Amino acid sequence: MLQHYLSAADLPRAEAEALLQRAQTLKAEWNSGEHCRDSNGGLPLQGNTLALVFEKPSLRTRVAFEAGMTQLGGNGSYLSANDIDMGGRESVPDVARNLSRWVQAIAARVFKHATVETLARYATVPVINALSDLEHPCQALADMLTLYERHNHLAGLRLAYVGDGNNVCHSLMLLGATLGLDVAIACPADYRPDPNIITLAQQRATESGGQISLSSSPIEAVAGADAVYTDVWASMGQEHEAARRRPLFQPYQINADLLAHAQEHAVIMHCLPAHRGEEITTDMIDGPRSVVFDQAENRLHVQKALILTLLHK
């Protein structure tokens, strides 16, 4: 039974599929004007609070969690780095112990992955990784829901990721492998995913019938793909590396020439925010094959499903 969600690897295949199905149901209910109800006809998270502990700024993550809690009858309490200063004014274990006395769950958007692990170790309520330097597992859930909506299945799809082997790439590899996708990664040689993540993803792929492949060739990765995914070349906290990285990553830009190697029905994906004209051209992100804003919308519904699952509602 899922206790925390710190990594995309925390979900076995059956639980991941059930969570995505629940998210799809929640989305359909919301879009039809209905509200998710508990067995007594009330909103399921009435009286519940989610603490949003954010060391980094956010648009999608914060709003999707706050709106999701509101839609389910609960409340999101936003706490910035200025409010808490974890590890400075107050230790991470003490933050976890305090919050556990007041709220029913914690979502943490942090720099170091060790921070969410420490929160989970000392909290007596569920902890969600809302982004760390190692993973972005909520984003991966939204990505899988977006692909499922397009294809009505996930196993066997080829997902190409081109660019930096970063936290988004890690979670995509892990969840994609768990769900039986063929995940093809193309990165510059010095920017490949973490070796431990690669090993774990390959193990998951063996179990699911999926596949993980890595190369330095974006054309090789994109060939025959059902979806082509990228992210910024320098993530938050790496802005000082942007100028040095730009020429190395230029061949990995999603543009019309690269997309021509994918299948005709291939969709374009990006976790946002995007640096238009760098990792992706404007005509691609705004074009008819882009599902970028579907991904953003689906953050709301997968995060609702995740909170309900963690709180056994």
- Enzyme catalytic residues: 109, 136, 139, 231, 271, 299
Task: Give the chain's largest Cα–Cα span.
Answer: 59
3-state secondary structure of 312: coil
What is the distance between the alpha carbons of residues 140 and 192, in angstroms, rounded to a whole number?
18
Q: What is the DSSP letter of 47?
A: T
DSSP state of 90: B
- The answer to whether 145 touches 20, Cβ cutoff 8 Å, is yes
The rounded distance, in Å, linking the Cα atoms of 132 and 29 is 31
Task: Enter the tokens of residue 240.
Answer: 């000082």
Strand partners, 159: 183, 227
Q: 90 has which bridge partners?
A: 86
**∠ Cα 162 24 270 (to 5°):** 20
Cβ-based neighbours of 295, under 8 Å, separated by 6 or more = 139, 142, 143, 146, 269, 270, 271, 272
How is residue 156 annotated by DSSP?
T
Give the residue among 95, 145, 133, 140 at the shortest CA–CA distance from 237.
Answer: 133
